[in-house]
Chains A and B, each alone.
Chain A
Amino acid sequence: MEQRSATTEATIRALAEANAGRPGALLPILHAIQGELGYVPESAVPIVANVLNLSRAEVHGVVTFYHFFRTRPPGQHTLYLCRAEACQSMGARDLERHVKEKLNVDFHETTADGRFSLEPVYCLGNCACSPAVMIDEDVHGRVTPERLDALLGQG
C-alpha cells in the first residue's frame, strides 16, 4: 500500500514537472494527472504546489473550482447526464429520475458495485438529438429510459 502511494506520488511529480514549463501550466497538469489516475488525489496538491511554486491553497482552489476535476476515484465508467434546456425539452428530467433510481445513486456518486459514477453535465452539444448522455467519451443521442438501460447493460 505504501509502495503504491509512493509510485502514485512519483507519477504526479513526473507529470507536474513535464508540464511545468508551459505558460499557465496548472490546468494542463491537473488534466494530465486525472487522465493518468482517473482523479486528482489530495496528495497531488502539495506536490503540484511545490513544482509550480504556488501555495497549496492556490492549487486546491483551482482543483475545486472546476466541475470536471474530481478528488475521489471514479467508478469504472462515468455516465454524464445532460441536464440543460434542450435535453429538458425532450424529457431529460424523467431520464434523470430514471437513472438515479436505476443506479441507486445521486449525482457525484458511484454505484455500490463500482461500475458507474453519475455526473451532471450542462450541455454536450448534441442538442438536435436530445436527450443526450455521455458514457466516458462516447456521446449517445435520442436516449430513452429503455435505451439507457441497454447502454448501461453493455458498460
Chain B
Amino acid sequence: MASKHKIFVPSDTTARSVGADRVAAAIGEEATLRGAEVEIVRNGSRGLYWLEPLVEVEVEVDGRRLAYGPIGAGDVPGLFDAGFLTGGAHPRALGETESIPYLAKQDRLTFARVGLIDPLSIEDYRAHGGFRGLDNAVKLDGAEIVNIVTESGLRGRGGAAFPTGIKWNTVLNAPGEQKYVVCNADEGDSGTFADRMIMESDPYTLIEGMTIAGLAVGATLGYVYIRAEYPQAIRTMREAIERAEAAGYLGTDVQGSGRAFHLEVREAAGAYICGEETSLLESLEGKRGVVRYRPPLPAIKGLFGKPTIVNNVISLATVPIILDKGAQFYKDFGVGRSRGTLTVQLAGNVKQGGLVEIAFGHTLRELLEDFGGGTATGRPIRAVQAGGPLGAYIHPSKFDTPLDYEAFAAFGAMIGHGGLVVFDDTVDMGAQARFAMEFCAVESCGKCTPCRIGSVRGVEVIDRILDGVNEAANLKLLRELCDTMVVGSLCALGGMAPYPVLSILDHFPEDLRARDPERRAMGEVA
C-alpha cells in the first residue's frame, strides 16, 4: 500500500483565473475513483504564470517537487494514467520545478517561499526560514534595526526608490507617543502583481516585515491598505493576521519582547490616486483620497498627524531576509546604487509572463527575451511600457539598458514597481498616448489644475492631432501641455502621466499624427 502522495495546486488569483480550482477538484475526484491516497496542498503560485495551472508532486524520498503544466481539468485522468504521482512521464512534464530555467536563473530572496508553502500555515512558514528576521530584531534596539536596513541599500520598491533606512530613521527620530507603519498595498499599476503575490502566497513575510518596522521606529499599530480589486489578498491577509496574533507574533507582547504591535487590513475603494502615499493616508483617515502638500513629510506628520512609515509591500516583505541574513548579504546583489533584487513582472503580450526576482544589473533584453521568450503572438516587440501607466514606452533600441534605477532615469524612463508591459507591432501608439491622458483624467484627485484640467485637454489635443486638425500646431501644443503638467502638478499622477505621451512623441512619432494622409498634408501647410 503506497503512502499518501502530496500534490500542490496553486490557489493564487492568476492560477485560479485559468482554472486551478477545477484542476484541484478533478485531481481529488480522480484519486477517489482510483483509490489513490493523495493530499492536495493549495500552495501559492511560483509565478511561472504561463505554465499555470502548474501541478507539482512531491517525491517521497527527498522532498523534491516535480512539475506538470499547464494542466487543465481534462488532462487529469491522463496524468493519473501516466503515473504522475510517482513522477511518470507525460507530455506536460517539466521535470524538477527548481530546475526549470525560468526559476533556476532567478535570485529569489523576497520571494524565497512564494509558491513553495501553504500560504496560511505558520509551521510551513517557520520551516522555510520564516520569522528568523523577527527573532533577530527583538534582540536589537530600534536604531540598530534601522542601521541594518540602511546598510542593506534597500530602496522603496513601490516606484519612488527612496532609501528605506533613511525614511525609517526619520520616523525613529521624530518625536511622538504614537507612530504608525502603513503598508501601501494599493498596487494599481497595470503590469504589476508582485504585491498581490506576496499577500496571497506568503502573507507572513509582509506581517513579519511590518512588525520589524514597528519595532524599529517604536510604532505600535500598522495598517495594510489593500485595493478593493484584490478580494483574495484581503481575505488571506486578514486570516494571516488573525493566526499570527493567536501565535504571539502580533499583539501586546511580540514574541516575548515586551513590545506591542497590532496590525489591521483596510480595504481601499478603487481610486488609483490612493497609491500616492499622502492620498492613501487621507483615505485611511476616512476622507477623499486627495493629495496633501509636502512638507510636512509623512515620516514626520503622517497618519492622523503622527510620524508614519509608508512603504510598499515588496519593501516591507524584503526586510525579514535582511534581518535574517544581514545587510551585507542583501547588498552583495545588484549594481551601482541599485542594491539587492528587483521583482520584475513580465506582463501583457509576452510569451512567458510571470514573476522574475533577479539582482539589479541584468538588461531589459535578457528579461524580455531569455525569460519572456518574446511576444505571446509571436510578432516582433514594438514597445515596452515600464513602471506602470505613468511610465515611458521604451523603444527596442533601448533594450540593452541594465535594470538599474539611474540607468533608466538617464533616458526619461523608470523602473517603478518593476512591471514590464509588452506590446507587439500591431499596437497603435497614438491610442496608447491618448489612453495615458484619459487614465489621468479618470483618476485625477482634482486638487491641482495641471493634472485635473491638463489631462482632459491632453485627450482633446491628441484627438485633434489624430483627426488631422492643425497637426503641427497641436503637436507643439501637446508638448507644452506635457511640460506644464510635469512641472506644475502636485504629485506623480499629473507630473508623470505625460511621460508615456512624451516617449511616444520622441520614439514613435509616426503613430502620433493625422491618421488620414490627406489631412496630414493639409495640416502641415496650416
Interface membership of chain A positions 72-115, coded 1 if the CB is closer than 8 angstroms to chain B and 0 otherwise: 00000000100011111110010000000000000000000000
Closest A residue by C-beta to B267: A31
Give chain A residues whose Cβ lies under 8 Å from the Cβ of B508.
Answer: none
Are the C-beta atoms of A85 and B187 separated by less than 8 Å?
A: no
Given A24-B286, A62-B288, also A89-B348 (CB < 8 A):
yes
B479 CB to nearest A CB, Å: 22
Q: Tell me the bound Cα distance from A110 to B116 in angstroms.
A: 42
Are the C-beta atoms of B271 and A67 separated by less than 8 Å?
A: yes
Are the C-beta atoms of A86 and B191 separated by less than 8 Å?
A: yes
Give chain A residues whose Cβ lies under 8 Å from the Cβ of B187.
Answer: 123, 125
> Counting CB contacts under 8 A, is B169 at the interface?
no
Are the C-beta atoms of A127 and B419 separated by less than 8 Å?
A: yes
Give chain B residues whose Cβ lies under 8 Å from the Cβ of A85.
Answer: 190-191, 348, 385, 389, 421, 432, 435
Within 8 A of B (CB), among A27-57: 27-28, 30-31, 52
Q: Tell me the bound Cα distance from A89 to B267 in angstroms.
A: 29
Closest A residue by C-beta to B289: A65
Closest B residue by C-beta to A67: B270
Q: Tell me the bound Cα distance from A129 to B266 in angstroms.
A: 27
**Number of A residues contacting the other chain (C-beta, 8 Å)?**
44
Are the C-beta atoms of A128 and B350 separated by less than 8 Å?
A: yes
> Counting CB contacts under 8 A, is A26 at the interface?
yes
Closest A residue by C-beta to B346: A128
**Number of B residues contacting the other chain (C-beta, 8 Å)?**
63
Q: Tell me the bound Cα distance from A66 to B376 in angstroms.
A: 35
Given A85-B421, A125-B187, A140-B17, also A68-B228 (CB < 8 A):
yes
Are the C-beta atoms of B269 and A30 separated by less than 8 Å?
A: yes
> Counting CB contacts under 8 A, is A12 at the interface?
no
Give chain A residues whose Cβ lies under 8 Å from the Cβ of B347.
Answer: 86, 127-128, 130
Closest A residue by C-beta to B439: A122
A107 CB to nearest B CB, Å: 11
Give chain B residues whose Cβ lies under 8 Å from the Cβ of A124.
Answer: 13, 229
Give chain A residues whose Cβ lies under 8 Å from the Cβ of B230.
Answer: 125
> Counting CB contacts under 8 A, is A142 at the interface?
yes
> Counting CB contacts under 8 A, is A15 at the interface?
no
Given A123-B190, A129-B17, also A90-B349 (CB < 8 A):
yes
Are the C-beta atoms of B13 and A62 separated by less than 8 Å?
A: no
> Counting CB contacts under 8 A, is A121 at the interface?
yes
Are the C-beta atoms of B190 and A84 separated by less than 8 Å?
A: yes
* B422 touches which of A24, A89, A140 (Cβ 8 Å): A89
A79 CB to nearest B CB, Å: 13
Give chain A residues whose Cβ lies under 8 Å from the Cβ of B189.
Answer: 123
Are the C-beta atoms of B421 and A89 separated by less than 8 Å?
A: yes
A37 CB to nearest B CB, Å: 15
Q: Tell me the bound Cα distance from A52 to B349 in angstroms.
A: 48
> Counting CB contacts under 8 A, is B354 at the interface?
yes
Are the C-beta atoms of A89 and B424 separated by less than 8 Å?
A: yes
Within 8 A of B (CB), among A11-27: 23-27
Q: Name which of A27, A30, A125, A132 has the most chain B CB atoms within 10 A of its CB.
A: A125
> Counting CB contacts under 8 A, is A139 at the interface?
yes
Interface membership of chain B positions 97-133, coded 1 if the CB is closer than 8 angstroms to chain A and 0 otherwise: 0000000000000000000000000000000000000
Within 8 A of A (CB), among B297-348: 304, 345-348
Give chain B residues whose Cβ lies under 8 Å from the Cβ of A129.
Answer: 14, 17-18, 49, 52, 353
Q: Name which of B49, B272, B346, B348 has the most chain A CB atoms within 10 A of its CB.
A: B348
Q: Name which of B17, B196, B232, B439 has the most chain A CB atoms within 10 A of its CB.
A: B17
Closest B residue by C-beta to A139: B17
Given A26-B286, A85-B348, A85-B435, also A128-B14 (CB < 8 A):
yes
Q: Tell me the bound Cα distance from A129 to B355 in angstroms.
A: 12
Interface membership of chain B positions 3-17, coded 1 if the CB is closer than 8 angstroms to chain A and 0 otherwise: 000000000011011
Are the C-beta atoms of B16 and A122 separated by less than 8 Å?
A: no
Closest A residue by C-beta to B350: A128
Which 6 A-B residue pairings sit nearest by Cβ, starting from the closest?
A128-B353, A26-B286, A68-B270, A84-B190, A127-B347, A66-B269
Q: Can you list 24 pairs linking A and B with CB atoms under 8 Å apart? A: A26-B286, A27-B286, A31-B269, A58-B287, A61-B288, A66-B269, A66-B271, A84-B190, A84-B439, A85-B385, A86-B419, A123-B187, A123-B189, A124-B13, A125-B13, A125-B187, A126-B193, A128-B354, A129-B49, A134-B229, A139-B13, A139-B16, A140-B17, A141-B14
Residues of B within 8 A of A (CB): 13-14, 16-18, 49-50, 52, 187-193, 195-196, 228-232, 266-272, 283-290, 304, 345-350, 353-355, 376, 385, 389, 419, 421-424, 427, 431-432, 435, 439, 442-443, 445
